Structure 1
Amino acid sequence: MKLTFISDTHSLHDRMPPLGSGDVLVHCGDFTGRGDLFDVENFAEFMMVQDFTHIIVIAGNHDWCFENEFREEAETCLRDSGLIYLNDSGVEIDGVKFWGSPVQPEFMNWAFNRRRGASIRHHWDKIPDGIDVLITHGPARGVLDRCENGFPAGCDDLLATIQRIKPSIHASGHIHEAYGVLEVDGMVFINACILDERYRVRNAPVEVEI
């Protein structure tokens, strides 16, 4: 199965180079600029014509309409476009189990912020064993999570959860300057941010076989 990961396109998806084709395209959140419904509709139109058998999407901290009063309309827009939207939920495709969550440790006043500790652990505790591909908007602590100033912004409790469930792949975004791929203890970690820290389209989609 060929998987392609992108993240943090912030309504600039039409400026990316062609995504090619494959079995599953995954967007790890922040596909809008400020999370209005027009941006969601534009994104959905773009994604639904990509040459992938399945497309999985989670929201991120910029995607406000997935956590406010427009949530139902926003989710329906993605699903009516044939996209698989995950929010603390999972899907199985050809025997491969995916799980997605939009939450990340509290960072200014953005969507899907959760306090470190019990508040965010509540979400990670929902992740069952046996997940092959874990998709979260924010990274785990110490793995592709360093901000431009060197601060590791990832989540400690997410890291502990990953060590428990041991997925084959953990994909995230959120920290633009930490784009890359890293293998740790047999697991592949991906930060798939397409935009760099200055919100310029700079990085390539990440392709992985599973």
Structure 2
Amino acid sequence: MTSPFNRRHFPDYFLASPLAAALYPLHHLLCRLRGPPHLSPPDARPIRVVCISDTHTLEWTDIPDGDLLIHAGDLANDGSVREIQASIDWLRTLPHPHKVVICGNHDSYFDVRSRLAEDRDDPKSSSYAAVSSSTASLHSVDDPVSRIDWGDIHYLQHSSVTLTFPPPSTIAATAAEASTTRSRSLTLYGAPQVPAIVPFGPEHAFAYPPHHDAWSGTVPRNTDILITHTPPQAHLDLSPVYSTGCPYLLAEAWRVRPALHVFGHVHAAYGMERIYWDEAQRAWERLCAARRRRARNSRLGSLFGFVRDLLDLTGWVDAARVLGYGVMGVVWAKVWGGENRGSGWMVNAACMYRDSGKLGNKPQIVVL
């Protein structure tokens, strides 16, 4: 059976839902035509954010310069302190003024329930296995001792940090930057939990059943940048049919509406999307959610996707809303000169190229 983390061939998407397969490129084309979803304040210099994830003990040899570096988890493979510290040591050598890291499901040291025996205070203790079997507890058991030397890196685990970005120095500033005098602050929130859409072993950190709501009300409303390991449903998660993202995380993103949401986990869904938090996006997400259950069908069962789409009046209405509101957004931005306020980006920053074991996806850059 094909892994749910691998991208399917186009015929699979088309057979499961011809409507969604045809609408997908049109929706994203309209999003691109609308222009930047977020603009920097006119009296402060732009903040260059470099996004990476899923390096799995490997080191990207040429990380772009920026004001902020974000790593969205899976620093390691076996989750040991040895591997994690080696990755942290590499990140510490990078010149970015601010660095923020969360863990992923492979970074098991950060979840006491999932630690390797070599990293436990008492390797013979069986209490960890009992805790690991509890699917309700998503936060790590309290552990006051950390063996990781973080240096200048901010580690977030269900927590926030507010970073200040001063104006450029007059010596190094360009003519355009010289007129910007105001400092800027951004609040970042990071959380590692991932839905176990396949049976994860106890070595996987912060896994929860896919039907469990692990997100509602957890992200502070003042969050500018949201960092998670899992993607939200219907965005850079192999959607529209074979979606691996979390619907509860998507609902939480709608509540908070961050300017930037960085994640990884699904290597094959690497990329960047513009997010406008409007009726076009809401209709697209409804259409994707309605087709998600078709991912469980065999290829033979997917042959009926055409018939189901043909008779799905709600799907056709949502498709019309995606196109109609999308065109209105383009007219608003390009003809009337309106700004896209309160919008942003979603970035799947997985550097690992699919399941090749090699880093092949370049770091992503977003300017806020």
Instruction: Map 1:155-166 to 2 at 5 A.
Output: 155-166=246-257
Structure 2 residue aligned with 1:55, among 99, 115, 131?
99
Name the structure with the higher strand share.
Answer: 1
TM-score by length of 2: 0.52
Contact 1:146 1:153 in 2 (8 A): yes
Aligned partners of 1:5, 1:24: CA distance in 2, in Å?
Answer: 8
Number of the residue aligned with 1:99: 189
In the TM superposition, residue 54 of structure 1 has moved relative to its aligned partner by: 1.0
Contact 1:105 1:115 in 2 (8 A): yes
Point out the more displaced range, 65-74 or 155-164.
Answer: 65-74
Number of the residue aligned with 1:77: 148
Contact 2:108 2:205 in 1 (8 A): yes
1:112 partnered with 2:182: no
Aligned partners of 2:232, 2:267: CA distance in 1, in Å?
Answer: 14
Contact 2:99 2:153 in 1 (8 A): yes
Contact 1:139 1:155 in 2 (8 A): yes
Q: Report 1 or 2 for greater relative contact order, CA contacts < 8 Å, sequence distance ≥ 6.
A: 2
The 3-state SS of whatever aligns with 2:89 is helix
Structure 1 residue runs without a partner (length 5+): none
Aligned partners of 2:213, 2:251: CA distance in 1, in Å?
Answer: 15
Structure 2 residue runs without a partner (length 5+): 1-46, 120-139, 165-184, 277-342
RMSD: 1.9
1:206 partnered with 2:364: yes
1:45 partnered with 2:137: no
% identical equivalent positions = 29
Amino acid at match of 1:7: S
Number of the residue aligned with 1:2: 48
Aligned partners of 2:104, 2:146: CA distance in 1, in Å?
Answer: 13
In the TM superposition, residue 115 of structure 1 has moved relative to its aligned partner by: 2.0
In the TM superposition, residue 73 of structure 1 has moved relative to its aligned partner by: 8.5
Structure 2 residue aligned with 1:127, among 212, 215, 219?
219
Aligned partners of 1:74, 1:190: CA distance in 2, in Å?
Answer: 32
In the TM superposition, residue 117 of structure 1 has moved relative to its aligned partner by: 4.3
Aligned partners of 1:117, 1:82: CA distance in 2, in Å?
Answer: 37
Structure 2 residue aligned with 1:176, among 262, 267, 283?
267
Aligned partners of 1:25, 1:50: CA distance in 2, in Å?
Answer: 9
Contact 1:140 1:155 in 2 (8 A): yes
The 3-state SS of whatever aligns with 2:109 is helix
1:17 partnered with 2:61: yes
Question: In terms of Rg, which structure is larger?
Answer: 2
Aligned partners of 2:147, 2:158: CA distance in 1, in Å?
Answer: 17
1:192 partnered with 2:349: yes
CA gap of 1:56–1:141, structure 2 versus 1, over 3 A, is same
Aligned partners of 1:184, 1:139: CA distance in 2, in Å?
Answer: 14
User: CA-to-partner distance for each residue in 1:38-76, whole Å, 9 max, x for gaps?
Assistant: 111211110111010011000000001111254858855
Contact 2:54 2:72 in 1 (8 A): yes
Number of the residue aligned with 2:323: none
TM-score by length of 1: 0.90
The 3-state SS of whatever aligns with 1:120 is coil
Aligned partners of 2:163, 2:262: CA distance in 1, in Å?
Answer: 17
User: Aligned residues, how many?
Assistant: 203
Amino acid at match of 1:86: L
Aligned partners of 1:152, 1:196: CA distance in 2, in Å?
Answer: 18
Aligned partners of 1:171, 1:74: CA distance in 2, in Å?
Answer: 28
In the TM superposition, residue 112 of structure 1 has moved relative to its aligned partner by: 1.0
The 3-state SS of whatever aligns with 1:193 is coil
